[in-house]
Every structure is written in structure tokens, then in C-alpha cells.
A and B are shown apart, each in its own frame.
Chain A
Amino acid sequence: MSDMNTGMVEKYRNNFLKEVEANVEEGEWVKMCMQCGVCSGSCPLGPHWDHPPQELFMMIRAGKRDEVLESTSMWMCTSCYNCIVRCPRELPITHIMHGLAHYATRLGIEPKNQPTRKFSQLFWDNLAKNGRVNELKLGISLYFMNGFVEGIKTALGMAGIGMGMVKTKRMNPMEILGGHTVKDKKGFQAMIKKAQELEAARVDN
């Protein structure tokens, strides 16, 4: 949706912070950060972030739009909530991270090859069909996410676990043919569609 991206750039011209406040979940908290760094220090995946949360907040305030939105950093968040618990200003950091990731996706400028981003998309696509996760299909699409050869390798490697899961009735090989759905599938899909409409409307304001 690069049209949306262009639109946002135009609209918030040089005021990335305002853009984040308006469009990112819990974005209005970004200004409350006092750059203490506890979040950055507490994150268990910290070393894998290019820019830790505290730095991201400063970058937002400094107007570094592309660097922030195209960053892989917030995709590394595992929702452990360590940062929120320790933040002395009570910033809902986990939510902001997910919010940034989501916003970047909607603008179409998210880092395409980032593994958790890819997995998120797969998970969503899988879930949105039937309202239930089809674990077999999800597993398969995850293994093949990086290509066919990779996929075979990973699948073979995971064969033992897969068999174990089938034996203990955690996974049903029949799911390959369709899988469970929620009771009111049509209603579910209408709900998703409506939510997406509402969100788009909110943003376009």
C-alpha cells in the first residue's frame, strides 16, 4: 500500500511523532519516555534488535521515519512484557512495538524478509481463513517459508516431533484437507472485513 505511505508522508510532513501518535497503537506514550534504557536492558532478545525500544522512541522524536518503520527491531519482540513491568514511566512498550510493526505493514514498508514478520503473516493468513489455526498447514507453510529446499530439510528434521504429535492426538493429519472452522465462518469473515474497514477509516482521518 505504498499510496498510503506517500499519503502519510505528505500528511505528517516532518512530524513523525505526530504520525505515530495518531496511527500506532499506544503511540501517544512515546513522548513519555525519559531515555533511561531499562527496557533495552531488560529485553531478553535485546542483542538481536538493531535499535532497542528506548532508542526507537528517541528516533521517532527525532523524525527518523524510514529508519524506524523499515527496521527489523520491533519484529523481534516476543511479548515477554519484561520492559513494561520495569518501565519507570509505565510506557506500554510491548504494545507500541507491535503497533509500530503493524503500522509499517499497513504502509507496506515493513522489512519483507524478517522471519517473525513472515511468520506473523503466515499465522494470520492461516487463521483468517477458518477462524482456527490449521496446525498442519501452518507447520508446512512455516517450513517452506524460505524456499523449497529449505522446506524439505526442515520438514525431515521435524518429522520425529510431527509423528509424536499425531500419536498423542495433538495434530490431525486429515487437516491437510481443510481443518476445523469456527461455527459461524461467514460471520467471522464479515467481522474481520468490518474491522479492517474501520481501521482503514481511522487511519485515513
Chain B
Amino acid sequence: MADEMKIGAYICNGCGLGDRLDAGQLETTATRDGKAQICQQHDFLCSEAGVKMIQDDIDNEGVNRVVIAACSRRAKTDAFNFDNVSIHRANLREGVIWVRPDTDDMQETTQEMADDYIRMACAEAKYSKIPEKSGEQGINKNILIVGGGVAGMKAALEASKAGYPCTIVEKSGALGGATAQLYKKIPTKAPYTDPEDNGVDEMIAAVEADSNITVHLNSTTTKIAGAPGRFAADISAESGSTKTKDFGAIVQASGFTPYDANKLPEFAYGKNKDVVTQMELEALAKEANGGAIKRPSDGKEVSSVLFIQCAGQRSKKEGHLEHCSGYCCSASIKQAMYFKDQNPAIDTTVLYTDMRTPGAGGENFYRSGQQKGVIFTKGIASEVVDGASPTVKFKDLILDEDIDLEVDMVVLATGMVPNSGQPTRSELTDQENEDKESEKAGEEVEIRVDVESILNLDYRQGKDVPHMANGFADSHFICFPYETQRTGIYTAGPTRRPMDSYQAMEDAVGAAMRAISEAENAGLGRAAHPRVGDLSFPTFRKEGCTQCKRCTVECPFGAINEDEKGYPIYNESRCRRCGTCMGACPVRVISFENYSVDTVGQQIKAVDIPDEFDEKPRFLVLACENDAYPALDMAAQNRLEYSAFTRIVPVRCLGSTSLSWITDSLNSGFDGIILMGCPSGDNYQCHFVKGSLMAQERMSKVGDTLESLNLEKERVQTFEISITDIHRVPQIINEMAETIEQIGMSPFKF
């Protein structure tokens, strides 16, 4: 439905704007250049009266594009909050008067800055449509939970309690996962002194009694297609039958596989039967069931046992795990207590380099272990010598001595390897990528790795959630632990990060919350983190598409599939609305209703470029709205000054930068272009994963174009900005101004 566009421009005179700027001139600019049909001024636009003035125009005059020429889009959002219209902010306060000195000789350029921002806001208004949800999916309250361990069960129980039906798909023949194998578990509540019952049976009973939870045992998901709100999962049983069910969101709690201790021959594992892993000790403890634990080799009751911590972990050696698994210190204390509780005379020693028992409960448990007589020795084991009884050779770091200790049993505290499935294409090695590229285009691409997929996502970019460091399917973010690179799929438990079963259950409750939230919001067409609530979504002009597949490949979230002919299929609810696809498209056929090549491009074209004799250059700054734009606002808040010739356009992500914006600005006569985005690299900050990186790659190609046009490369520069770079952002702009002064104005001015 084409809505008849009516632009209302509202100019605020408060906060010094009326003193520093000629509001009359701004009105003329808005109506004459910006084509605003209505234009009004107010001395205090964010006041109740000012807001009412705008609302009246919306209600009675049919204004549906509201241009607010006042403070930054980040300020007064509660006041300037109007339904069913699109709002465009000309940042005259933080963007103009706060960064320019209040002197007579600066008045002219300050006014020019303000006039341009009004033109830009009106241009943006003109080319924006009010986004409406796609209607691709409704609200589907069913949650799919992959993995039936305690994390999966907990997610199901809590989601069900909130009114959301769940389906658990469990690969093995029973629920309970790794925790079911534990004789007892680390205590979860005060006074934290003794091992607790593992609680799995009660949990399984609760799951089975809950009519809102369906369980599929001996099953896996052989295919998951669709998107949040309309995931279609094929659940296949070992017996061969397959059911397809629809879900709103997915929780992946696929747990972990214990590290293969056969990789530790130095500890005589495999050779000496009395060298066991922590999981194997749990089995022995279960067998003993409160009685004496017996050696596997000869059935003798264990009278002395030594635990080697960090076995095959925290190590850069080949075949070892680099990470720490977090729970094994407490687990060894617990297991030492199995022995001590049964017979205090049993010698138990824990050999560690750092005892990791954090938090309120942790230290109590450590003290309780000591109370029961468990000995803690700081030392490093170099070898376990095979024999009738194993002998541990270690260096005691406190006494600075080498010691050989013969014990009845050695327990290796080995670590967790997450069951996170297959790596995505971007994680493959160069060789694997090469192998793939030599395959015919358009063919079904199989990623040749010998790991089974957990989810079997029918996504072009890979069957599982991308891995972060050490193979864990985590989100990479500290503040947003659940936001993986796959919208609507939330990992929980050791799949995401090494943890004990209590933390895994808590984690699962959080993942369930996210899944519920996404199921609800996807149904309403609303985007997920970070552009929460955004109704816009990408569409493309099929006639112009060349099937180059750049959008499908570059999408950080795997939101785009391909049809048989190679045209992209956009899955709106998988999309985070970053616009990376839009920036990638060489023929510019992709756009969002309120964010397109035009909404930015026309802003650029709306800027009034003085001719070369006026000696007033123009600098374009494309600033990512997440970090760079706030930094610019805060620089203004601190009254740090930058060049009057700056024109800033906020973008959703630097990855959405279309090369046409660069060429358009250069052609229009802009002298310099600065791109500001979030830090990339291993510790990337970009909420959309690799925006800055992609912008830099694209800009490197621009370098060649610039040379062929006889333009200096320095005219286009890309910077990685943190939100705290408050002093740096004005510096960057001012340095560009200096550079342009040196190399001269752009020859493309008229």
C-alpha cells in the first residue's frame, strides 16, 4: 500500500539552537530544499507542548514523515516517540552547535552545517517507507530442545511452566545426559559441604509428567529448515521413522564429550587399569554405592588415591585442550569425598596448580574437603609409571622437590569437549575451502569434516551454530551471552562454555527465556538483538539480480538461502537487519523499507557542495550507529570541536556500506570520506560480527578506483572506533581536514 508521503519538519530553538542558528533560514531550507510540506518552530520542542504540536499535525494534517531538527537521535527518545510514522532526526545540537565555537566568524559555516543536516533528514524522510512486518510467520509457541541432559530438561521444564510447549530430541536412549552418570553432584546450596544426589531421576519424572513436554529418544534432527517462528524440524528416530514438526525457536543443549584420555599416554592411561578418568570413577562409585570403591585391576579396596588436575587441559601441547573446564577442581573434591565419607582412613591427594572453587559455595566446599582430610598439594605431574600400583612422579612446587608417590588409584581430571557439531565455512581451513571451491557452483556443498552435525540446519553457510574459541558454540559477547550467530537458536550448557551441571541448568533457563522471546517476537515480525523491535527486512529486485551470491555468502547470520536458480531467498526472521547484504550487492538491488541505498545515498546527494573557489571542503562521515555515532555524540557533549565541513550519516553497520555511496560522494564533490566502525579481529566488537572488516575489504578495492580517477587514496579512510574513543573521533575528523588542506580539494566540484 503506497502511503501518501507528507513531511513535517519541526525546528527546535531550545538548548541554544535559537541563539546560534537562524531558524528562519532553517525553515526555508526545510521547505524549499527538503520539500517539507509543513514546517514549524518551537522554543522547547521536547516539552509536552512541543510534542503535542507534532502529534496534532500527525493526527490532523496527515503528517507521516516527521523530521525533527533538534538534538541527537539518541536524546529525548521518550519525548519524540510517535506511532505509525517514521521519524528522522537532524542532529543540530550534538552534531552542530556543540562541536562548533560560538564566534561571529564561525557563524556562517555553522549555519551551513545545520542547513545541510536538514536537507539530509528530509531526503532520508522522502526515501523511507514505514516498515510493516512481513507476515512470513505467526507466533509459534513450540520450542525445540536439542539434547535431553539436565540442561535440556531444565529448559523444557521452565519453558513449559511459562506456558510454552516443548519437544526434547535426545540422541541416546535415555534422558539425563552426563549428569545421570554421576554418583553424586557438586552441592548447589548452603552449606555447600557435602555432595548432593544428582537429582536426575526426579527431573526425568517431572519431564515425563508434564503434558506440555514431548520427548523423542534415540532421535536426532536430520534437517532443520525455516526460520524463527517457522522452523520445520525433521525428527528422525534410530528406527527410521521421521516426523516433521514446527517450532518458534530452538535451544541447543547438546552437552559435551569427555576428553579422550588415551591422548595422555604419559599418565599410563590405557596401560594401567587403575588410572581412570573422573567419569570412570563416577561409575566405580555408583557400583560401590556407599561401600568401598574397588580397583578395576584386582578388585582390591582403594586405600590411597591421587587426583591429577588439569590433565590434558590448560595446555598448548598438541592434542591437549587449551581451555580450563571449570568444574573439575570441585569435581575432584567431591570424588575425594566419596572415599573419605566411606572411610576417613583412605589417603586422598589432589595435585593441582590452581584450585578453582569460586563463589559463595566454592570456598565452603574446598574447606569442607580439607575438613574431611583431603590433602591438597600444589604440584605438576610429569608421569605415571605403570606397575602393580601406579606411581605418580610429580614436582611439589611448595617444597620444591621431586616426589614419587605410589598409590592404589590415579584419577585424571580431564576436560570437556563441546558437542557443537560442524564448523561453518568461514572456520574451515584454507585447504578445505579450496576443495570446496573446485566443486561446481550451484551444487549442494558438503563440508567434509568427520564430525557429525548436531542440528543439520538447512542453511547455506553450514549445518550448525558457528564455533567460537576452542570449539564452543558461544555468542562471543560478554553482555549478550546467548546471541549466537544464528538467530532463534540459543545454546546452553557445556556446548556453549565449559561448566558444571548446576550452571548448565541455570544457563538453560536463560536460553529458554531467549527462545521464548524470539518465538514471540519473530511472530510479530520484530528483529532480535541488537536492533530489537525493528520491523524492516530486506527485499530485492529480482530483475536486477545477477545471482553473484555475495549477499548469501557475506551475511554474518546465515539468514539467506538460495533457490534452484541461485537467487537469494531472504528469511526475514533469521535476519538481524544489519544491511550487510545491501552493502555487498554490487548491483544495489537489496533494500529495507526504511534503510536503503537511497536513504543514505540521497542524504549524500542532498548536501550542498560549494564550488572549488569557496575553499570550503566537505567531509562525509559514515558512522556505525552502535559505537561510532555515540562516541561522536559524547564528544559533542564534552564540547570537543571538529571541522565545520563534516557531514555525518549514521549507518546500521559499516558492513552495510554500499560502494555506490562512496562513488556518489566523490562524484558529488566530497573531498574526503571517513568510515567509522567497530573493532574487528579475534576480540571483535561488531554486533554484526565483521562489519568493519568487510568495509575495509571493500574500501581496499576502492583504492584502485581512486587512483584511476586521479584521486588520492587518503581521501577515503576507514577507522575502527570504540564507543569510548571520545577524544579520538574529533581528532580523526580534524586530521582528515588537515590532509585535505595539504592535498587540495576534490577536482570533482562544479
Task: Point out the residues of chain A lying under 8 angstroms from B362, CB to CB.
Answer: none
Judge whether B377 and A61 touch: CB under 8 Å: yes
Taking Cβ atoms with an 8 Å cutoff, the residues of A that contact B are: 15, 17-18, 31-32, 34-35, 55, 58-59, 61-62, 64, 89
Cα distance, A81 to B367, chains bound together (Å): 22
The answer to whether A15 and B398 touch (CB under 8 A), given A32-B370, A32-B371, A89-B367, is: no
Asked if B396 is at the interface (CB within 8 A of a chain A CB), the reply is yes
Cα distance, A53 to B139, chains bound together (Å): 67
Task: Point out the residues of chain A lying under 8 angstroms from B371, CB to CB.
Answer: 31-32
Q: Give chain B's interface secondary structure class.
A: mixed
Cα distance, A31 to B376, chains bound together (Å): 8
Asked if B548 is at the interface (CB within 8 A of a chain A CB), the reply is no
Asked if B373 is at the interface (CB within 8 A of a chain A CB), the reply is yes
Cα distance, A58 to B378, chains bound together (Å): 10
Judge whether A35 and B398 touch: CB under 8 Å: yes
Judge whether B396 and A62 touch: CB under 8 Å: yes
Judge whether A17 and B375 touch: CB under 8 Å: yes
Judge whether A62 and B399 touch: CB under 8 Å: yes
Cα distance, A187 to B367, chains bound together (Å): 45
Cα distance, A15 to B345, chains bound together (Å): 10
Closest 6 CB pairs of A and B: A58-B398, A32-B370, A61-B375, A31-B370, A35-B398, A31-B373
Task: Point out the residues of chain A lying under 8 angstroms from B725, CB to CB.
Answer: none
Task: Point out the residues of chain B lying under 8 angstroms from A61, CB to CB.
Answer: 375, 377
Judge whether B367 and A62 touch: CB under 8 Å: no
Asked if B403 is at the interface (CB within 8 A of a chain A CB), the reply is yes
Within the complex, what minimum Cβ distance (angstroms) separates B360 from chain A? 16
Task: List 22 A-B residue pairs with CB atoms under 8 Å apart, sorted by A's residue number.
Answer: A15-B347, A17-B375, A31-B370, A31-B371, A31-B374, A31-B375, A32-B367, A34-B355, A34-B366, A34-B370, A35-B398, A55-B398, A55-B399, A58-B377, A58-B396, A58-B398, A58-B399, A59-B399, A61-B375, A62-B396, A62-B401, A62-B403
Cα distance, A34 to B376, chains bound together (Å): 8
Cα distance, A35 to B366, chains bound together (Å): 13
Task: Point out the residues of chain A lying under 8 angstroms from B374, CB to CB.
Answer: 31
Q: Which residues of B (336-381) have their CB < 8 Å from a CB of A?
A: 345, 347, 355, 366-367, 370-371, 373-378
Judge whether B370 and A35 touch: CB under 8 Å: no
Task: Point out the residues of chain B lying under 8 angstroms from A35, CB to CB.
Answer: 376, 378, 398
Taking Cβ atoms with an 8 Å cutoff, the residues of B that contact A are: 345, 347, 355, 366-367, 370-371, 373-378, 396, 398-399, 401, 403
Number of A-B contacts (CB under 8 A): 35
Task: Point out the residues of chain A lying under 8 angstroms from B378, CB to CB.
Answer: 35
Cα distance, A61 to B371, chains bound together (Å): 14
In the complex, which residue of chain A has the Cβ closest to the Cβ of B378? A35
Task: Point out the residues of chain A lying under 8 angstroms from B399, CB to CB.
Answer: 55, 58-59, 62, 64
In the complex, which residue of chain B has the Cβ closest to the Cβ of A14? B347
Within the complex, what minimum Cβ distance (angstroms) separates B396 from chain A? 7
In the complex, which residue of chain B has the Cβ closest to the Cβ of A17? B375
Within the complex, what minimum Cβ distance (angstroms) separates B133 from chain A? 59
Cα distance, A35 to B371, chains bound together (Å): 15
In the complex, which residue of chain A has the Cβ closest to the Cβ of B376? A34
Within the complex, what minimum Cβ distance (angstroms) separates B105 from chain A? 67
Task: Point out the residues of chain A lying under 8 angstroms from B370, CB to CB.
Answer: 31-32, 34, 89
Task: Point out the residues of chain B lying under 8 angstroms from A32, CB to CB.
Answer: 367, 370-371
Within the complex, what minimum Cβ distance (angstroms) separates B377 from chain A? 7
Cα distance, A13 to B43, chains bound together (Å): 92
Task: Point out the residues of chain B lying under 8 angstroms from A17, CB to CB.
Answer: 375
Task: Point out the residues of chain A lying under 8 angstroms from B401, CB to CB.
Answer: 62
Task: Point out the residues of chain B lying under 8 angstroms from A62, CB to CB.
Answer: 377, 396, 399, 401, 403
Within the complex, what minimum Cβ distance (angstroms) separates B747 from chain A? 72
Within the complex, what minimum Cβ distance (angstroms) separates B368 from chain A? 10
Cα distance, A35 to B399, chains bound together (Å): 11
Cα distance, A122 to B82, chains bound together (Å): 94
Within the complex, what minimum Cβ distance (angstroms) separates A79 from chain B? 25
Task: Point out the residues of chain B lying under 8 angstroms from A15, CB to CB.
Answer: 347
Cα distance, A89 to B375, chains bound together (Å): 15
In the complex, which residue of chain B has the Cβ closest to the Cβ of A64? B399
Cα distance, A135 to B425, chains bound together (Å): 90
In the complex, which residue of chain B has the Cβ closest to the Cβ of A21? B373
In the complex, which residue of chain B has the Cβ closest to the Cβ of A33? B370
Task: Point out the residues of chain A lying under 8 angstroms from B403, CB to CB.
Answer: 62
Task: Point out the residues of chain B lying under 8 angstroms from A18, CB to CB.
Answer: 345
Task: Point out the residues of chain B lying under 8 angstroms from A59, CB to CB.
Answer: 399
Task: Point out the residues of chain A lying under 8 angstroms from B396, CB to CB.
Answer: 58, 62
Cα distance, A202 to B396, chains bound together (Å): 34
Within the complex, what minimum Cβ distance (angstroms) separates A24 from chain B? 15
Task: Point out the residues of chain A lying under 8 angstroms from B345, CB to CB.
Answer: 18
Cα distance, A15 to B349, chains bound together (Å): 13
Cα distance, A159 to B56, chains bound together (Å): 108
Cα distance, A165 to B596, chains bound together (Å): 102
Cα distance, A135 to B330, chains bound together (Å): 57
Within the complex, what minimum Cβ distance (angstroms) separates B339 from chain A? 15
Cα distance, A58 to B396, chains bound together (Å): 10
Within the complex, what minimum Cβ distance (angstroms) separates A141 from chain B? 39
Task: Point out the residues of chain B lying under 8 angstroms from A64, CB to CB.
Answer: 399
17 further A-B pairs in the complex, CB-CB below 8 A; given A17-B375, A62-B396, A62-B403: A15-B347, A18-B345, A31-B370, A31-B371, A31-B375, A32-B370, A32-B371, A34-B366, A34-B370, A34-B376, A55-B398, A58-B396, A58-B399, A61-B375, A61-B377, A64-B399, A89-B367
Cα distance, A47 to B371, chains bound together (Å): 30
Cα distance, A35 to B355, chains bound together (Å): 11
Cα distance, A78 to B377, chains bound together (Å): 29
Cα distance, A27 to B469, chains bound together (Å): 47
Within the complex, what minimum Cβ distance (angstroms) separates A173 from chain B? 52
